[in-house]
Structure 1
Amino acid sequence: MKLNCDLGESFGAWTMGQDEQVMPYIDMANIACGFHASDPSIMTRTVSLALSHGVQIGAHPSYQDLAGFGRRSIHHTADEIRGLLWYQTGALEGICRAQGTTVEYVKPHGALNNDMMRSPDILTAVMEGVAAYRSGLPLMIPATLDAEHHRELAKRVGLPLIFEAFADRAYDDQGLLVSRIETGAVHDDPQVIVEQALSLANRGGIRSVSGKWLALPAQSLCVHGDNGHALAATRAIRSALSGQVNG
């Protein structure tokens, strides 16, 4: 089970997250591409940091919403969604190429990620956009109860999928993330986060907020970089997973 984290989300003189501390403990870095956070200098530094730790680099595109950190839904046509994906992924790809590497997957951020999992039209536009950008480039999407359906949709456009689950987020009975406006939507207790991570890794699912069992076929676990407990949680998850492998 690979660990991924949303990183490179600072902007100018404003610092977000604990990138330098978290990077050694993860396998995949979802790097902001300038629309919800980041700028060329921060993107460059984050790519360099990922390379120094042998971490896979993923583009983390969003709606164009710096003020709202990409967490506000914005209406777009399918053409506009494809365009914003190409624009942001291309920007990060250029920085990667200058450092001798490349973008290895795409993971939509925030409201775009949530909206595509609720709207078949948006999901189709995202899948088509990533597939058109580069053949064989994987799209990372949340593992849900409809994973098999999502595999079939992706197969139609020749798109590899990476399913992820969130170690630090609560889920509702439909297998979707509880809205951040709800109390308890984000876990801040490292022990709770570790228990959820181990349940996903070992049992292939977790309990919803109401206690319903959710089978979520995750290949990667995410801990949010803007969570104040990200470093402690990521260390604890890495230690727990490594202990299982070594034990």
Structure 2
Amino acid sequence: MIHIDINCDLGESFGAYTLGNDEAIMPFITSANIACGFHAGDAGIMQSTIALCKQYNVAVGAHPGFPDIQGFGRRNMVYTPSEIYQMVLYQVGALFAFVKAAGTTLHHVKPHGALYNMAAKDKTMAKAIAQAVKDFDSTLYLYGLAGSLLIEEAQQIQLRTCSEIFADRTYLPDGSLTPRNQPGAMIHDAGKAVEQVLQFITQKQVLAETVCIHGDGEKAVAFAQALQANFQQHHISMQAPV
């Protein structure tokens, strides 16, 4: 039987502003990437999202990004390797404080937005992120784009990795994600999303261990429900990496 994790970017509300429907999607995912306050989220949101994960038995992950609330962490920014290392370590530590207070465990780290996409192609950035995760806790998983430099650099330092594909994004011929500012970057039809994921997994087109759904997508819950239903039909079990 094939075992696949379904992860979702969550905890991205901020203060009085609500983004996504975190509780509604919880029954259909196995791991969550929780914003750590730099691109989205705040202390209260981190605490409440971790509580939801604990309630629904969803693995908790940190989702560090660039310090860019206005741009939602999706704008490329220039930092030195030491600054990348520090910002990742800082954000993972912030989320971990709430994880520990809730009496649960931190499972993984997945960079957000531009930080994620840049590290997929930039060896120096990838190495800084991987080292920060390993120095914080060498037993954590690092989630990254399948076939990316982020996965490669993490494996070079014996950090556990989880290769990721996306249900709601399209791909360029080189295997990178289609930039959001290009037409057709997002998939809006649940049937097409499921078709893409099943093609990747069942035909082994990509070595993937986790599938991402963006929690801020308007059809995120519908996508998660459709994936769960189709996984059951194809005898694919849903579980976070152990």
Global fold match (TM > 0.5): yes
> Within 1, Cα distance between the matches of 2:157 and 2:37?
27
1:198 matches 2:198:
yes
1:141 matches 2:144:
yes
2:106 to 103, 107, 122: 103
Structure 2 match to 1:50: 53
Q: 1:12-60, CA deviations, whole angstroms, 9 ceiling, x for partnerless residues?
A: 1111111011011000001000001100111111000011010000000
> Within 2, Cα distance between the matches of 1:99 and 1:128?
26
1:81 matches 2:71:
no
1:157 matches 2:157:
yes
Structure 2 match to 1:124: 127
> Within 1, Cα distance between the matches of 2:164 and 2:155?
18
> Within 2, Cα distance between the matches of 1:41 and 1:12?
8
Given that 2:142 and 2:154 are in contact with CA atoms closer than 8 Å, whether structure 1 keeps it comes out as no
* Mapping of residues 1-247 of structure 1, within 5 Å: 1-144=4-147, 150-151=151-152, 153-205=153-205, 216-245=206-235
**What is the aligned-residue identity percentage?**
40
Higher relative contact order (CA 8 A, sep 6+): 2
TM-superposed CA distance for 1:155, in Å, is 3.3
How many residue pairs get aligned? The number is 233
Given that 2:151 and 2:163 are in contact with CA atoms closer than 8 Å, whether structure 1 keeps it comes out as no
> Within 1, Cα distance between the matches of 2:201 and 2:5?
10
> Within 2, Cα distance between the matches of 1:155 and 1:88?
22
> Within 1, Cα distance between the matches of 2:204 and 2:73?
29
Counterpart residue identity of residue 241, structure 1: F
In the alignment, structure 2 segments of 5+ residues that lack a partner are 237-242
> Within 1, Cα distance between the matches of 2:200 and 2:104?
31
Counterpart residue identity of residue 244, structure 1: H
SS at match of 1:161: strand
TM-superposed CA distance for 1:133, in Å, is 1.1
SS at match of 1:70: coil
> Within 2, Cα distance between the matches of 1:231 and 1:109?
20
Given that 1:168 and 1:186 are in contact with CA atoms closer than 8 Å, whether structure 2 keeps it comes out as yes
Given that 2:39 and 2:72 are in contact with CA atoms closer than 8 Å, whether structure 1 keeps it comes out as yes
Given that 2:108 and 2:142 are in contact with CA atoms closer than 8 Å, whether structure 1 keeps it comes out as yes
Given that 1:86 and 1:129 are in contact with CA atoms closer than 8 Å, whether structure 2 keeps it comes out as yes
Structure 2 match to 1:208: none
> Within 1, Cα distance between the matches of 2:29 and 2:139?
23
SS at match of 1:44: helix
SS at match of 1:104: strand
Counterpart residue identity of residue 100, structure 2: R
TM-superposed CA distance for 1:116, in Å, is 0.4
SS at match of 1:29: strand
In the alignment, structure 1 segments of 5+ residues that lack a partner are 206-215
Counterpart residue identity of residue 82, structure 2: D
Structure 2 match to 1:209: none
Q: 1:97-129, CA deviations, whole angstroms, 9 ceiling, x for partnerless residues?
A: 001012110000000000101211111111111
> Within 2, Cα distance between the matches of 1:204 and 1:39?
39
> Within 2, Cα distance between the matches of 1:150 and 1:6?
19
Given that 1:136 and 1:158 are in contact with CA atoms closer than 8 Å, whether structure 2 keeps it comes out as no
TM-superposed CA distance for 1:201, in Å, is 2.2
